[in-house]
Structure 1
């Protein structure tokens, strides 16, 4: 983000463009965020939080566990759309709300075990008003080794059995490539954690892609939509 979220080293990569379009479309479908209290968990450098604040949210809070990311988010926050930034672990989040809407971009894929995954959902639910919404971009399981995402900006290198969920080793296709890891949780694991946390509804929306253009035509996006990096998880408190 300033792109949708700038925790990625290559925010203009195609899969991040699809993520941004997916989340913006979902926010528009809800009527936007004007006059809502909003929370962005795992806010990174502040892209999603800035999006919420600039959309007219009454209050926006960004939470991240990395001091450097919080520092950079605070430094880059526009004065015209103020955001409060809090240094905290999503699995041990303090009471900061209540909020009407929470967002989480790829947060749950980094839960190291089932206990942490459930704690993340509980912390978000505890900060939402009754009827509040959670919109979360979550990674789709099962892609490796069937799918090559390298045309879209990332590549999976290996999948290792490890603990409660397999560990995937991957890289962002920057120059040079930047390596990262995440857990391959099933969507059913996310849904179970959400219900356990007290969310009353759990739904899924497929990734949406931006309009085709000269650099990324419709065939390019059609291939991506056949097996996208992410899906949008929607939960109601």
Structure 2
């Protein structure tokens, strides 16, 4: 599944930049970074960096070293091209799986948007968290946006940019089939690991603390008013997983 977004190209960048769920994820990550006192002077890693949006956020925040990692060469090429147009040379991008990041460190901070839900089995899930933990210095932090389990079929996320189509019992975690609601819609899949599964893997990897924070939403505006965001907060697509090495 690691190359499932390759054919989406620019429309994947479009959907994650404009969809409401992505706006909420970004707002949540901003708040968590602020709560840590920012990133100035830190060595920062961005897992599943895609086109580099969160990676650039870390660099602009004053990180001493900023590294973006993604398994898709096309996304990394686009991220590098973006930096070249801006004349930036302060971000490193690497084509790599999350299980291969340990050799790139050490880091003080790792951010991650939805990488763990692509682990197909428990062994793979534990290996990814172990690699992230190994890449962090003692006391380093992991801030990860992860999907919330159990909403489908009770909740329709279509107004927020994602539609879940089916849950297929398969292996150690159900496989969810979904669409990004671009025009036309683009299919993707992910595993429905529970928060308990993720916490178990983090503890086994050596993280000393594991916590959860609810998804935060941006201030209302004429397009997405408070009623809209109130409904989203009742059943958000994701939560923030926070871990300390």
Shorter chain as denominator, the TM-score bin is over 0.9
Structure 2 residue aligned with 1:220: 228
Say whether 1:13 aligns with 2:19: yes
Say whether 1:108 aligns with 2:81: no
Distance apart, 1:91 and its partner CA? 2.4
Counterparts of 1:47-196 in structure 2, within 5 Å, are: 47-77=53-83, 78-80=86-88, 82-196=90-204
CA distance in 2, matches of 1:8, 1:76: 12
Structure 2 residue aligned with 1:208: 216
Distance apart, 1:88 and its partner CA? 1.1
Listed as ranges, the gaps of 5+ residues in structure 2 are: 1-10
Secondary structure of the 1:190 match is helix
Q: What TM-score do the two structures reach when normalised by structure 2?
A: 0.92
Structure 1 residue aligned with 2:37: 31
Structure 2 residue aligned with 1:3: none
Secondary structure of the 1:205 match is strand
The CA deviation string for residues 33-54 of structure 1, in whole angstroms up to 9 with x for no partner, is 0111000111111111111001
Distance apart, 1:227 and its partner CA? 0.6
Q: CA RMSD in A?
A: 1.3
CA distance in 1, matches of 2:90, 2:170: 41
How many residues end up aligned between the 2 structures? Answer: 232
Structure 1 residue aligned with 2:7: none
The CA deviation string for residues 3-48 of structure 1, in whole angstroms up to 9 with x for no partner, is xxx9654121111110010000110111110111000111111111
Asked whether the 8 Å contact 1:7–1:44 carries over to 2, the reply is no
CA distance in 1, matches of 2:31, 2:88: 23
Secondary structure of the 1:216 match is coil
Structure having the higher helix fraction is 2
Listed as ranges, the gaps of 5+ residues in structure 1 are: 1-5
Secondary structure of the 1:74 match is helix
Asked whether the 8 Å contact 1:41–1:103 carries over to 2, the reply is yes
Asked whether the 8 Å contact 2:102–2:132 carries over to 1, the reply is no
Asked whether the 8 Å contact 2:55–2:68 carries over to 1, the reply is yes
CA distance in 1, matches of 2:193, 2:183: 29
Cα gap change, 1:63/1:188 in structure 2, threshold over 3 Å: closer, same or farther? same
Q: What TM-score do the two structures reach when normalised by structure 1?
A: 0.95
The CA deviation string for residues 69-122 of structure 1, in whole angstroms up to 9 with x for no partner, is 111111112434621011111123341111110001001111111111111111
CA distance in 2, matches of 1:142, 1:26: 24
Which ranges of 4 or more aligned residues in structure 1 deviate by more than 4 Å? 6-9
CA distance in 2, matches of 1:122, 1:100: 15
Asked whether the 8 Å contact 1:43–1:62 carries over to 2, the reply is yes
